């Protein structure tokens, strides 16, 4: 069998992460670049530059690239490779597949970021051996992914599992999707940043004040603030975990999964604390008879969950 490589990309709200996999499913090269939102054209340029740079710096033969796969946050038409809508990036009805296949001349696949993160964990990470998984990925936004009866569940036209936008308080804070009181508006980096900005605006002091001034904080900053017992940061996390516990209870009652999985940048940074707080509350929000057969765990692949999900999409 001729040597070949797959290139996998994680396109997030603030960065593009790229990796090259060899035939043994090992990452042999990786690269991360900041993405400045502006237009889908800008995002495309960052993606192209990440792929080009990885090929050049890794020294692999361009002819040995078998396929490229990427995620995007939002609603994706996976059949046609079109990004229909992203709450946190300027992509609307963007034909990503055609643009990338034209540019690189190899098959290109695209799917929802958290669907792929959960798929990656199911195939190669903390979800191995489970048949029904509810995944919450806490990053810039809040994504969901479902494995039901051993299959990734994507619903009609690949639009399912957007339960980051389940409404938990119709009078709550405004969300990037246009609704109020979504789980994302409370428990994502955006939600926590908005809360911290609000409290700082009321004159309270926080080590996070500068970090949230013009957008969302970096997960490491939150970890540092929590270590220093920053009260405003602690409140933002308590609030985030409370709503995650409510959402988890709802999903446990709805799907009776074997596993609820938490991933994403925030969980990678302070996941043990989040899990501890969710575990302390979740029993209030679901039926004990269903809760008794569910495990709650943290994703094992960290930053690479989505990249392995891309790989699973290529491998079919």
Is the domain spanning 5-113+305-315 CATH 3.30.950.10? The answer is no
Break the chain into its structural domains and give their ranges.
5-113+305-315, 126-299
- pLDDT of res. 43: 80
- pLDDT of res. 124: 95
Q: Indicate if 126-299 has the same CATH topology as 5-113+305-315.
A: yes
- pLDDT of res. 42: 76
Q: What's 126-299's CATH class?
A: alpha beta
- pTM of this prediction? 0.90
- Write the CA distances from 294 to 63, 106, 200, 256, 268, integer angstroms: 46, 41, 39, 7, 22
- Write the CA distances from 203 to 34, 43, 64, 129, integer angstroms: 31, 37, 58, 50
Q: 10-residue block means of pLDDT along the chain (316 residues)?
A: 90 87 96 73 86 96 96 87 82 92 96 93 97 95 94 91 95 94 97 98 97 93 97 98 98 98 94 97 98 98 94 94
């Amino acid at each position: 069998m001729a040597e070949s490589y797959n290139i996998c990309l994680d396109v997030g709200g603030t960065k593009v992460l790229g990796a090259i996999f060899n035939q043994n499913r090992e990452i042999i090269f990786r690269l991360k670049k900041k993405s400045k939102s502006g237009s889908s054209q800008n995002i495309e340029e960052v993606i192209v530059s990440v792929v080009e740079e990885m090929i050049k710096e890794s020294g692999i033969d361009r002819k040995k690239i078998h396929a490229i796969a990427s995620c995007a946050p939002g609603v994706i038409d996976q059949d046609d490779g079109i990004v229909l809508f992203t709450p946190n990036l300027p992509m609307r009805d963007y034909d990503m597949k055609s643009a990338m296949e034209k540019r690189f001349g190899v098959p290109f696949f695209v799917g929802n970021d958290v669907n792929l993160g959960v798929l990656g964990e199911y195939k190669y990470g903390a979800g191995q051996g489970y048949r029904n998984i509810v995944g919450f990925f806490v990053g810039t936004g809040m994504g969901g992914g479902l494995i039901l009866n051993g299959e990734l569940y994507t619903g009609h036209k690949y639009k399912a599992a957007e339960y980051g936008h389940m409404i938990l308080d119709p009078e709550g804070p405004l969300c990037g999707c246009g609704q109020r009181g979504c789980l994302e508006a409370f428990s994502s980096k955006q939600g926590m940043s908005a809360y911290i900005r609000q409290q700082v605006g009321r004159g309270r002091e926080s080590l996070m004040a500068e970090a949230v001034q013009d957008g969302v904080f970096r997960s490491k900053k939150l970890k540092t603030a929590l270590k220093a017992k920053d009260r405003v940061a602690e409140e933002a996390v308590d609030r985030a975990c409370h709503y995650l516990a409510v959402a988890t209870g709802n999903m446990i009652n709805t799907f009776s999964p074997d596993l609820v999985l938490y991933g994403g940048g925030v969980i990678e940074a302070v996941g043990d604390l989040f899990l501890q707080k969710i575990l302390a509350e979740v029993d209030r929000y679901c039926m004990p008879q269903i809760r008794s057969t569910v495990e709650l765990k943290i994703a094992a692949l960290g930053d690479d969950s989505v990249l392995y999900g891309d790989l699973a999409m290529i491998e079919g």
